[in-house]
Amino acid sequence: MSSRPLAVALAAAVLCAVPARADHDTIDEAFVKVAPEVLKHVRACKANNVGVLKFLVQRPGGKLDDTVGELNLSLADRLEAALILENKDRTFGILGRPSTAVVADNNRWANHLTPEGRQAFFKTKYNLAWGSVEDKVKAAMFVTGTATLSKDLRSVSITLEAFGPDGESKPIGTPMSVATSRRTLVEAGYSYVLTEKAAPQVFDGSRGGGSKGVRQKAKDDDEVASLGQALAMNDPTKTEGVKSTAEEAIRECPVKLTVLYNGTEVPIERDGIREPAETDKVAFRLTNTDTKRTYAVVLKVNGKNTLFSEELDADRCLKWILAPGATHDIRGFQEDETQSVPFKILSNKESEKGQVRYGDLVGMMRMVVYRGELSTGDVTPAEQEEPESRQVVLAAVSRGAQTKSNGGRPGSLARLQAVLKGLDDDSEGARGIIDKGGKKEASPLQRVQFKTLPSVGVADITLRYYTPKKG
């Protein structure tokens, strides 16, 4: 019999009285630098608003694709945030996550590939990133781009382009080449496991205390170690010691993920599992195989956290907490503190209707595992110190354009800029797609604080259970 985990914990960053600083990477820095040039290009085209669309991403040996993982939309969110923060003109509009609006409008014709496909984006009306959700506008111009990972995965080349209602795409600036970060790799669908054997220095229990500089160095060391492990496990140029598949990563992961169809385990083969049928009942079993350590787990399905359907970066998401040796079954999306909605498999007809080329991360599961301990005190004292102005902007871009405001959508550009910077208090799948069902079930939760050690996930694993049709 499976046991309820100790609790559901908010990520430490969310529990802080002051919004936590996000750890920016080289892409965030590049977007902050290029944002003025992007706005200058758009304004020169006499456009009165602009939207940022999902990027196309190319992995080594593959083709440009808009469904490699969370990176496609993450790049758009982060560039959108950079443009919002750079915008000084309250009369100039920036559309709020237009790729998701295309999905909601069931606009099947919109795509990046042809002038006609690009023209189709202008058939949908959009909300600005701020203001009333009742107010929709016609788009004047869109910005998008490509991200190409190098053969050794150590760098990524990013190009930007813009197009208007005629569908003719024009480049913006020159290609940007930046160093790959751990975030880039995991959001592009690469899995890794960080072990004490591979990086003993980041599992030292005495780390994380002391001055701000000491704490920051520990976080930087964690980032370097996890990136090195991710590169080592996925570098296609290496032939020995490579564990490049989700199947192999799960074997080494301290938390075992078991996918169940009708109560029976479904074998994981390389980076995926077989597609579920409409009549299958799906559940996910998390098992902490460590008898001494507590782990926190973010489990996403179709890009949505199984806790409250969050679409935030994993570090900022609610997490399932597993005591040493504990097991917990997840049978649906947790809706609130007391109820969940069972998973449902869409029929062929429903899936074909719901599958849009620019839709959510259909067909993907992602598990991020954090090692640490329960805490009754402030788990992130370093984050309460006021960061420098540039760090505020970089952190805001890293978090992307999504906000979690208790007061609803920001009503003005200035308010949105403040929310993104953390200076102001301030959510289904598409044949065989795992979606939400109908009837809710009782599923009471308890919130606790959880301190991670190391500060990064010790495992980040992506599985594909369904492959969308292209074209």
Instruction: Name which residue leads in pLDDT, 29 or 397.
Output: 29
Instruction: Name which residue leads in pLDDT, 176 or 111.
Output: 176
Task: Give the phi and the psi of residue 238 in degrees, each rounded to 5.
Answer: -95, 145
pLDDT digits (tens, 9 = 90+) for 371-385: 988 876 554 444 444
SS3 391: helix
**Predicted local distance difference test score (pLDDT) of residue 304:** 87
**Predicted local distance difference test score (pLDDT) of residue 258:** 95
> What phi-psi label fits residue 13: left (phi over 0), alpha (psi between -120 and 50 degrees) or beta?
alpha
**Predicted local distance difference test score (pLDDT) of residue 309:** 86
Instruction: Name which residue leads in pLDDT, 172 or 103.
Output: 172
Instruction: Name which residue leads in pLDDT, 398 or 407.
Output: 398
DSSP states of 240-279? SS---SHHHHHHH-SEEEEEEETTEEPPPBTTB-PPPPTT
| pLDDT (mean) for 395-422 | 76
CA distances from 325 to 2, 194, 255 (A): 11, 19, 9
- Do residues 27 and 156 touch, judged by C-beta distance below 8 A? yes
- Do residues 233 and 193 touch, judged by C-beta distance below 8 A? yes
Distance CA 225, CA 231 (A): 10
pLDDT greater than 80 at residue 56: yes
Other beta carbons within 10 angstroms of residue 400's beta carbon come to: 25
**Residue 208, exposed/middle/buried by CB under 10 A (0-12, 13-18, 19+)?**
buried
Q: Domains for the chain: give ranges and CATH numbers.
A: 7-21+190-380+427-464 (no CATH), 26-180 (3.40.50.10610)
Per the DSSP assignment, residues forming a β-bridge with 359 are: none
Q: What is the pTM of this model?
A: 0.81
Hunting for tokens 């902490």 — which residue is that?
288
Handedness of CA 430, 126, 188, 286 (dihedral sign): negative
**Predicted local distance difference test score (pLDDT) of residue 312:** 81
pLDDT digits (tens, 9 = 90+) for 323-364: 999 999 999 998 888 888 888 876 555 555 444 444 556 788
pLDDT digits (tens, 9 = 90+) for 128-145: 999 888 889 999 999 999
Name the residue among 77, 71, 38 with its Cα closest to residue 398.
77
- Do residues 246 and 233 touch, judged by C-beta distance below 8 A? no
